[in-house]
Amino acid sequence: RQPTDIGVRIFSCRPVASVKQGSWEHASVPCSAKMDAIGLPTSAPVLFYIHGGGFFGRFWAKDIVNLSAWAVHLGAVIVYVDYTRTPEAQYPVPLNQCFTVYKWVLQGGLGFHPSSVAMFGESAGGNLAAAVCLKSIQERIALPDGLVLVHPALTCNFSPSPSRFLHQSDPVLPRGILELALNSYYPFNGDQYKNNTYDPLVAVGLADDSLLRQFPPTALLVGDMDPLLDDSVDFYTRLNNLQVESSLKVLTGLTHGFLIYPDLVPAAQAAIDDIAEEVHAIFKRRLPA
């Protein structure tokens, strides 16, 4: 696709009424959007899925397996945002692309208005999902009905923490890859450290209380051997103190990126099933009595 295009993939177990292709003009600058839209006959819940991969990669083969199963189990339409990855694009392009597609979904781009929207993000995608919620608050766009974050990167800096020190040799996200991922998305320089500056749309975990208290119900899931464990613990603590409906599940024996190895570790498959139930709970909250 062209550098300014946004890739969108749709997973659904429901019959497809029509397929159309076109441009959506109200994209977040500097993005324009050209995407395939699958129109469904009636409204349906939507899972808005933002993949991980350190901002520079993805695990498409495993995503297909997980999302195909979730589409059947949840009876939902899953919107998978294939945002432009580094080094071709850095912040804020991937965020703007995700935000553009989110608004497109809310405004009926799929051919219907969702009955419920659950936002999901994993690792780097967790950073983007949380940032989409924060940007929605800033721009007064409707929030999703719930947010599910799996081992998200929420501080996006090199500040030391116990989990980053203890698990710096994580098999999926060792320290070197973590530093590469963060620098590729939002390059750091000495002035940022000297002046202690940060952008809350990059480091959502450091955003002001006035913004975080407006967050949607949020579920966090993270392995107890993950270098990003403290990001989830700290974010949950802040949301909980701000009386935002939130939950934290620390999963025993799991490292970063467990969505990609359920065939090797039974606990990883159990965690993937837990994630699906968290999404299902969001949809159930919107069902009529």
Residue 163 neighbours by CB under 8 Å, 6+ apart: 226, 227, 228, 229, 230
For the chain, first and last CA: distance in Å? 44
Strands 77-82 and 45-50: parallel
Calpha distance 169→182 (Å, rounded): 17
**Among 288, 221, 226, 228, CA closest to 253:** 226
What span, in angstroms and rounded, lies between the C-alpha atoms of 91 and 249? 29
Strands 77-82 and 7-11: what pairing? Answer: antiparallel
**Which has more pLDDT, 157 or 185?**
185
- Split at pLDDT 50, 70, 90, the class of 197 is low
How far apart, in Å, are the Cα atoms of 74 and each of 16, 137, 275, 282?
A: 17, 27, 11, 11
pLDDT at 171: 74
- Backbone phi and psi for residue 113, each to the nearest 5 degrees, phi listed first: -95, 125
Domains of the chain listed by start with CATH number = 7-285 (3.40.50.1820)
Q: How confident is the model at residue 91 (pLDDT cuts 50, 70, 90)?
A: very high
DSSP annotation of 20? E
The arithmetic mean of pLDDT across residues 27-35, rounded, is: 39
Q: Output the pLDDT for position 36.
A: 41
What's the pLDDT score for residue 39? 42
Does residue 32 carry a pLDDT above 50?
A: no
pLDDT score, position 248: 98
Question: pLDDT at position 78, please?
Answer: 94
CA dihedral of residues 44, 49, 223, 226 (deg, nearest 10) = -170
3-state SS class at 32 = coil
Residue 37 has pLDDT above 60, yes or no: no
> How far is the CA of 89 from the CAs of 9, 94, 252, in angstroms?
20, 7, 35
Q: Which of 82, 90, 55, 87 is nearest to 181 (CA)?
A: 55
* For range 213-219, the mean pLDDT: 98
Average of per-residue pLDDT across 224-253: 96
- Read off the pTM: 0.87
Helix (H, G, I), strand (E, B) or coil at 115: coil
